[in-house]
Every structure is written in C-alpha cells, then in structure tokens.
Structure 1
C-alpha cells in the first residue's frame, strides 16, 4: 500500500505489448511469411482493437528488426538475406563468446544451475512445437549472457533476440532430431562448468558458425 493508504495500481501488460506479442508469434510461426504486407486496418479488425495499439506494436517490431517500412508503401515482414543472417550471428558470437569467457572464469554454482535449468526446459520441450523450442533456445543464451554480470552485454544481446529467434525458427529442417539441440547446449554448459575456456569458446563459435552457414546457404541478398 502507498503512504496514503491507497493501493498502488496494478502493472498490466498494455494492449500494444499484447498486440506486438501476437504479431511476433505470427511472424515466427509463419502465419505472416517474409515480405507479407501488414495492414493496420485489417489487423485492428482481426484483433478487435483500435489502430493506435496496432501502430505502436508495429513500431516495436520495426525496432526489433522483424518488420521493415517502405516509404509510401507500408510495413512488411522482414526477409532476412544471407548477409543479414551472417551479420546477426557475427554480432551474437562477439557477445556470447565474451560472456562465455567471463562465465568460464568467474561463474558460480548458482550461475550454472540457472543455465542448466534452461537446458532442462529445452529437453522437456523436445516434443513441443518448434516455435516454443526456439524461444527456450534463446532463453539458454540469455541466461549465459546474464551470468557474465555485464549490463551492457545483456543489453546488446537483447537487441538481437527477435532477429535471432526468427533465424532459429528457420533451422528446424537442418536437425536430424530435436535432441541434437539439447546436446549442443548441454555441451557448452559442461565446458563452462569445468572452466575449460578453450572448449567453451570453440563450442559457442561452432554453434554460431554452423547455424549461420546453414541459414545463409538457403538465403538470398
């Protein structure tokens, strides 16, 4: 309660945030394929909201890199080309290899337990839909970066999350089985636990390079 004896207002998700979440999910699961033009009017009718929240939600996704605007034409779902994919993974590699080096040297049992929980979540979700698996995949990497204890590394990584999830959503055909996703992440954590910086750095770098190469091989510019 406040000093005046009144209840503080509840902090609820705003309509633009909820709309952005719905649109983001639609982009990731293929409901809105690359290059699809999004209409404020149509979306407002479908979601039963005014155009204001739609406009705000689109602005969020433009900032995240999931949408692109064309002058005098409108807003479209982004179509990541090979160079975009390589650039995303280049940036992620720089952030995550730095984070891994810090965690390998200074990581605590609490840090490793937090990261292990994300691997366990991945393992428990191997039979779920791929979009959910991509979300959990990124939660592992977010936990890894968070364990480094650098607010700036964390902020840098978060700016890449939406584009990264879009990339991961396209990786499903390249895996023989979803268990392979779990094993890749567990191997990184195992190297961090034993403070094997060289192995952890190599595994993170390979994880980025392999994913970028797979996606870029089918991309266009």
Structure 2
C-alpha cells in the first residue's frame, strides 16, 4: 500500500503526520469497523513504515477521539454511542449554520467548486445503493462547503467532528437496508446548493435544518 499523497507533500510533512492523515482517510472510507483492533505491525507493513510513526499516529488519533487505547489489550477503533453521536450532531449543526450563512453572503465562492459534479456522481451511486461510496461523497460535500466558508479554525473543528461521526455512521450503515435514505440525502444536498448559489440564506438554513434533523433521527432509529 502507498500513501495517498504526492512527493511534494511528503517532503513538507513529518512521517507520523502523514501516517496519521492516511489512517484518518482509511477511517473515512470505512476500512476499519468500530471496535476493530489496530495492530502496529500490520499497519506498518501496509504503509511501508516502521512501527514508531504508527505508534505516534495512534496517540494523535486517540486525542482526536478516533481510537481508544486499552492497557494490556491494544488500540481499537472507537465505538460511538447513540448519545455521543447526538451530542456531536448538535455541535456539527451549529457549525454548519455558520458555514451556510457565510457562503450565502458570498455565493461567488461556489464557482468552480466542483460540487455539481460531486452531486452528479452521488446520484448515480445512490441509485446503486452504494452506502460506503455515498458516505464518502457526503463527507466530501459538507467538507467542501466548510473549506469555502473561509475560516480555518472552523474547518479544523468541523473535520474533527465529521471524523468522529463517521464512526457512528459506519455502525448505522452496517445495519441499513433501505437505500431511499441515500437518494434523499443527495436531493437535500442539491436543494442546499441551489439555495446557496442564489444567496438565499434563509432557504439554505431551512434546507440544512431539515437535512440534519432527518439524518440525525434516521441514524438514531437504525441503532435503537
């Protein structure tokens, strides 16, 4: 396995940082299921590095709430409870309101954003009921909006919450049998983008609230 980074990025970042980024990417893609043990030796072999950078990355991932370290047992992918997910949803919603409001006031930032193309791809994947791929595109859509909002602190905080919440979503998707939720999510994203493109902040916030509330209820119901 090789890093999902080009040579320029490799030269500008420390190895532990790159390992951490790569592991976070694997989390987002659903490569690890909640509760799954993470072995230093196995990951070191997969990434072509020594165990030291893996160990350092584990410490950072623990601080970010993605893994748990159990004495004499090892490192495990964190299991998010329904209550924890609900708390994360609440904070994420507050951040997304800020994101949407900022973009609605300056919709020109959406030009060449790549979001229409992303939603076109998501539509096709939703029709195929590809939960894993749709989940990845869902993260990309919301994170792209966070990037366009132009607030670095907000973006970093948002990314951490999304990473944590992705663990909960993986638990839910493992039990999900109805693909209609995927199609509805894409339609919500299209409606949100349309409102933002014309700078309609009120409509965008309304669409966002409905989207997040339904997503929140759906995930809680699946795991209840």
Task: Give the TM-score, by structure 2 length.
Answer: 0.76
Aligned equivalent of 1:161: 162
Q: Which range moved further: 34-43 or 143-152?
A: 34-43
Rounded to whole Å, the distance in 1 between the matches of 2:212 and 2:27 is 25
Deviation at 1:129, TM superposition (A): 4.3
Rg (Cα) greater in structure: 1
Q: Provide closer, same or farther for how the CA distance between residues 39 and 148 of structure 1 changes in structure 2, counting only shifts above 3 A.
A: closer
Q: Provide closer, same or farther for how the CA distance between residues 93 and 134 of structure 1 changes in structure 2, counting only shifts above 3 A.
A: same
Rounded to whole Å, the distance in 2 between the matches of 1:179 and 1:218 is 17
How many pairs does the alignment contain? 210
Aligned equivalent of 1:202: 206
Q: Provide closer, same or farther for how the CA distance between residues 24 and 64 of structure 1 changes in structure 2, counting only shifts above 3 A.
A: farther
Aligned equivalent of 1:132: 133
Rounded to whole Å, the distance in 1 between the matches of 2:74 and 2:134 is 31
**Any conservation in 2 of the 1:107–1:148 contact (CA below 8 Å)?**
no
Given the alignment of the two structures, is residue 184 of structure 1 paired with residue 188 of structure 2, yes or no?
yes
TM-align CA RMSD: 3.1
Point out where structure 1 has 5 or more consecutive residues left out of the alignment.
1-8
Deviation at 1:188, TM superposition (A): 0.8
Rounded to whole Å, the distance in 2 between the matches of 1:27 and 1:107 is 28
Rounded to whole Å, the distance in 1 between the matches of 2:207 and 2:77 is 32
Structure 2 SS opposite 1:75: strand
Cα deviation 1:121-164 (Å, max 9, x = unaligned): 42354448433322221111112222222222222212223123
Aligned equivalent of 1:144: 145
Cα deviation 1:88-114 (Å, max 9, x = unaligned): 111110111111112222221x41541
Superposition misfits of 4+ residues, deviation over 6 angstroms: none
Q: Provide closer, same or farther for how the CA distance between residues 60 and 134 of structure 1 changes in structure 2, counting only shifts above 3 A.
A: farther
Rounded to whole Å, the distance in 1 between the matches of 2:25 and 2:98 is 29
Given the alignment of the two structures, is residue 111 of structure 1 paired with residue 110 of structure 2, yes or no?
yes
Rounded to whole Å, the distance in 2 between the matches of 1:183 and 1:86 is 23
Rounded to whole Å, the distance in 2 between the matches of 1:10 and 1:146 is 22
Deviation at 1:38, TM superposition (A): 2.5
Cα deviation 1:53-81 (Å, max 9, x = unaligned): 32133234323322112344422111110
